Amino acid sequence: MTRAALAALLALTLATPARAEETRQIGYVNTAMTNLGLTRSHRVVVERFADPEVSGVSCYISQARTGGVSGMVGLAEDPGRFSLTCVSTGEVRVSDAARRGERGAQVYESNTSLFFKETRVQRFIDEEQHAVVYLAWSTRLVEGSPFNAVAVVPYR
């Protein structure tokens, strides 16, 4: 293997999966053993991330992660299914920069395959109901529309 290929492989395995400033893996469960337990098993992973422009909110996302050799080196395609919940962990304060209109702003991103598939979380502000709305969605279309999930946190 050439040095460039080794460097690319190392970069893939060390790449951080999320874009949010404070992403932390909370835990995981193994869902299926792979290769007689010699490689990482298939998992469901729970991560926490904070919205950099909305203080007092923590979001939790669970996602399936493919195991085996290809999963260990970052070459596997993870399923595009996930769950999202966001909670207030203090006084919720929405910065002026967070108010970006109907297209919102991306606050989280996780690569779920080597090429062109990601899980993203977009933030929207519902000014009328005083709520921060988070939409998780997959960039891969499945049967005409991407998988998605919504979480809402009220503020005053």
- For the chain, the domains span 3-154
Lowest mean per-residue pLDDT among 18-22, 44-48, 65-69, 151-155: 18-22
pTM, two decimal places: 0.74
pLDDT (0 to 100) of residue 100: 79
Q: How far apart are CA 126 and CA 130, in angstroms?
A: 6
Residue 21: what pLDDT? Answer: 59
Average pLDDT over residues 98-116: 82
Average pLDDT, the chain: 80
Q: How confident is the model at residue 41 (pLDDT cuts 50, 70, 90)?
A: confident
Tell me the mean pLDDT in the region 142-150: 80
Task: Check whether 2 has a pLDDT greater than 60.
Answer: no
Asked if 90 and 99 count as a contact pair (C-beta separation under 8 A), the reply is no
Q: SS3 string of the chain?
A: CCHHHHHHHHHHHHCCCCCCCCCEEEEEEEEECCHHHCCCCEEEEEEEEECCCEEEEEEEEEEEECCHHHHHCCCCCCCCCEEEEEEEEEEEEECHHHCCCCCCEEEEEEECCCCCCEEEEEEEEECCCCEEEEEEEECCCECCECCEEEEEEECC
pLDDT band at 71 (very low <50, low <70, confident <90, very high): low
